[in-house]
Amino acid sequence: MGSLEGQVAVVTGASRGIGKGIALVLAEQGATVYVTGRTVNPGEYYLPGTVGETAAQCTERGGKGVAIACDHGNDEQVAALFEQVKRDEGRLDILVNNAFQLSDDLIEPKPFWEKPLSNLEMWQVGVRSSYVAAWHAAQIMAPQGSGLIVAISGFVGVTFTFGTVFGTAKTAVDRMARDMAIELEPHGVASVSLWQGLTLTEKAHYNLEKSKADMTDSITSMTGSSVEHPGRVIAAMAADPEIMKRSGATYITTELAQEYGVTDVDGSVIPSARGSRGAPLWKPIAEVDYRGQ
């Protein structure tokens, strides 16, 4: 029996990449996982992966995968998602806010004013979408007195990465997770943000092959993890009976992995990039009372 048997999770943006890896691990631990994404039919996107394929693999792993076609820029679709979870499951234990609209010119070395204003799509599906999903999730979690909300972020909170919009969006996600934790604390719901380093997703492989010369050494020199590594860390957090002690903080995923004794799928220990990319700003609210500051 997996450590998450009987638990219900929503993983946003899980057709492929990090979201897919997280969904698979949570399902492997016995959870029912609602897999969201916009790609329904193979070939609709230039990279492989659909919500249906991920959900099917979740079920093959031993849990239960539920595929939900959902554009997280569409509030009505997001509301319908959580209404279905509440109706069908009656509870929600884990929300992973992973969906993020990466602009096509993300890694092009141009200043922000030479890129289109449409790049603000990273704010729409990345920051705003995380708030909307957490808003719905909290309405299920708070009354039940438990739950875990995880935001997938990165070192951009302290290190320039890709560009102004990307960095601003990810930094906002960290702060949002911290402030949500303060408001969720009386209800026994934890909120954290994870700084994910280089993850060898389908898109990462594509970008490395296409534009490695344009990337900074701090990125290309990092040891990459599999897409399932962050899922293993999240599963450990979700099974941690003292998870509230961690609420409100931003964590480097690889460091949490070492604390929980989690390795990557091949048994390797992924090193932290703290030394080259910086340290998180926010500590657990159990350790530092940020109210009124």
Residue 13 lies in a domain: yes
Residue 290 lies in a domain: no
The pLDDT of residue 227 is 93
The pLDDT of residue 26 is 98
Residue 2 lies in a domain: no
The whole-angstrom separation of Cα 152 and Cα 244 is 18
Residue 37 lies in a domain: yes
Task: Find the DSSP H helices in 90-163.
Answer: 121-123, 129-144
The whole-angstrom separation of Cα 170 and Cα 155 is 8
Domain tally for the chain? 1
Asked whether the beta carbons of 285 and 181 are under 8 A apart, the reply is: yes
List the domain range (segments joined by +) for residue 267.
8-277
Q: Residue 247: what residue type?
A: S
Asked whether the beta carbons of 31 and 24 are under 8 A apart, the reply is: no
The pLDDT of residue 2 is 79
The pLDDT of residue 31 is 98
Q: How is residue 177 written in tokens? A: 């997770």
Asked whether the beta carbons of 209 and 131 are under 8 A apart, the reply is: no
Residue 1 lies in a domain: no
The pLDDT of residue 18 is 94
The whole-angstrom separation of Cα 144 and Cα 146 is 6
Asked whether the beta carbons of 7 and 94 are under 8 A apart, the reply is: yes
The whole-angstrom separation of Cα 1 and Cα 199 is 28
Please, what are the averages of pLDDT over each run of 10 residues along the chain (293 residues)? Answer: 91 95 98 96 81 97 97 97 98 97 87 94 95 98 98 92 92 97 98 90 56 53 82 98 98 97 95 93 93 70
Residue 185 lies in a domain: yes
Do the strands 8-11 and 64-69 form a parallel or antiparallel pair, or are they unpaired? unpaired
The whole-angstrom separation of Cα 86 and Cα 74 is 19
Asked whether the beta carbons of 182 and 140 are under 8 A apart, the reply is: no
Residue 292 lies in a domain: no
Q: What is the CATH number for 221?
A: 3.40.50.720
Asked whether the beta carbons of 94 and 236 are under 8 A apart, the reply is: no
Residue 220 lies in a domain: yes
